[in-house]
Structure 1
Amino acid sequence: MKARYQYRFYPTDQQKSDLARLFGCVRVVWNDALAICKKSQKTPKSGELQKLVITQAKKTEERKWLSEVSVVPLQQSVADLGTAYKNFFDSCNGRRKGRKVRPPRFKKRTNKQSARLTQRGFSIQGDGVYLAKIGVVKPIWSRELPSDPSSVTIIKDCAHNYFLSFVVDIEPIHIDVKNQSIGIDLGIKTFAVMSDGSEVHSPDYSRLD
């Protein structure tokens, strides 16, 4: 079972600059890939899009600065776009239950910024986390990670707060479905009698000083 564990961190001024560059590159790659998809009669596969908006784009004067950041979050941005399209199509065809999913939209600089890294792009080093081409950041470990994370998403919210959101495997919680509810009968002598026969006695206030 997958779960997210999120922690706040405070980057240095240099790391803020590097993260701003990373967020911008991830946003541009997403938007470039989305523009191609909108012009195509059939949505291209993730591998094809990565070649167009990352590998080939780096060779152009207009997009050569994509080489300044790790390729891992750029690849994940294209992969996430593919997932977004799949969820949209599944929602339209009824294969995805729940609320209708809207089609992917272009990302804006004013919105929340994020970049996702797989295990190739980060590692936990003591009380710090190394992020490729960013360096080591020190999150506030409010709780322990239950297992090794498979990915981490770097987030900057609209209030300019920074977070690391890890995806980890956890053990599912098993619930005894045989007895999900219980009846309670409130009384005077006995405070409460449960439907399973157990009793809760009233407190004896006469012993209080």
Structure 2
Amino acid sequence: MMTPSEAGEAGRARYTHRLRVSSTAGVALLAEWDRCRWIWNECVAKSKATHLHNKTTLGKRTCGPAQLDRMLTEARERTPWLREGASVPQQQVIRDFGRSRAKAHKDIRERLPQRQRAGMPKWKKKREALPTLNYTRRGFRLRDDRLHLAGGIVLTVVWSRDLPAEPSSVRVYQDSVGHWYCSFGATRSRSIQVGMARGEEEFGLSP
């Protein structure tokens, strides 16, 4: 299923398919999500601490991509639990948080009405936030109708249509009733057929 509403730059769209997830893969996905949710909440904590520091002292601190990348690197070095997970989705959490925070600051600078502002990123609570994992091209590959994610997670894709081009990203997420889906980001203008080709297209995978 193509979702034009999620289309980004011109010529790009997301293509969503159901996933068949084994019990082992399901446990692994939820473990990855626990790590990513923890990292997001660490970003929120750092953002709040930076804001408080800048309000109460003369010295100004920043909470940009460089600071958040360093925070993730240090957290992985000292926390074996984080190192057990793939680095790609964790890095994407940093990128997503940075974009969300930057949008909130932009809305404030432009003095948008309160109801139109995106708002600062908030805590993701375990019982409220649905699992969502984002992978760039180096974090997944397609082979034999299956989606192989960094970290050794293998999922079966229920292909409803071919992809129009090599996907550059994939989002794996769970809905409120427990079903899993994958959403591929791909360029619509190309005619390369993948997915149903059953392994003819394979993409690089990083640990």
Q: Matched residues in 2 for 1:43 and 1:159: separation?
A: 39
- 1:190-209 matches, within 5 Å, as none
One-letter amino acid matched to 2:186 = V
- Alignment partner of 1:9 out of 16, 19, 28: 19
Q: Matched residues in 2 for 1:100 and 1:36: separation?
A: 21
Partner of 2:120: 103
Asked if 1:29 corresponds to 2:39, the answer is: yes
Q: CA deviation at 1:153?
A: 0.9
Partner of 1:161: 179
Q: SS at 1:149's partner residue?
A: coil
Q: SS at 1:56's partner residue?
A: helix
Q: Contact 1:85–1:104 at 8 Å: present in 2 too? A: yes
Q: Matched residues in 2 for 1:71 and 1:29: separation?
A: 11
One-letter amino acid matched to 1:107 = K
Partner of 2:96: 80
Partner of 1:192: none
* Structure 1: gaps of 5 or more residues: 172-209
Q: Percent identity?
A: 28
Say what the alpha-carbon RMSD is for the aligned residues.
2.0
- Alignment partner of 1:44 out of 53, 60, 63: 63
The count of residues paired between Structure 1 and Structure 2 equals 168
CA radius of gyration, larger in: 1
Q: Contact 1:9–1:163 at 8 Å: present in 2 too? A: yes
Q: SS at 2:160's partner residue?
A: coil
Q: CA deviation at 1:136?
A: 2.3
Q: Contact 2:25–2:154 at 8 Å: present in 1 too? A: no
Q: Matched residues in 1 for 2:36 and 2:101: separation?
A: 17
Q: CA deviation at 1:95?
A: 9.1
Partner of 1:193: none
Cα deviation digits, residues 169-203 of structure 1 (max 9, x gap): 224xxxxxxxxxxxxxxxxxxxxxxxxxxxxxxxx
Cα deviation digits, residues 110-157 of structure 1 (max 9, x gap): 221101010111011131111111432111111111111111111012
Q: SS at 1:139's partner residue?
A: strand
- 1:96-175 matches, within 5 Å, as 99-110=116-127, 111-171=129-189
Q: Matched residues in 2 for 1:75 and 1:91: separation?
A: 25
Q: Matched residues in 1 for 2:62 and 2:132: separation?
A: 24
Of structures 1 and 2, the one scoring higher in RCO (CA 8 A, sep 6+) is: 2
Deviation >6 Å, runs of 4+: none
Q: Contact 2:139–2:149 at 8 Å: present in 1 too? A: yes
Partner of 1:20: 30
Q: Matched residues in 2 for 1:131 and 1:30: separation?
A: 20
One-letter amino acid matched to 1:140 = V
- With normalisation by structure 1, the TM-score equals 0.74
Q: CA deviation at 1:56?
A: 1.1
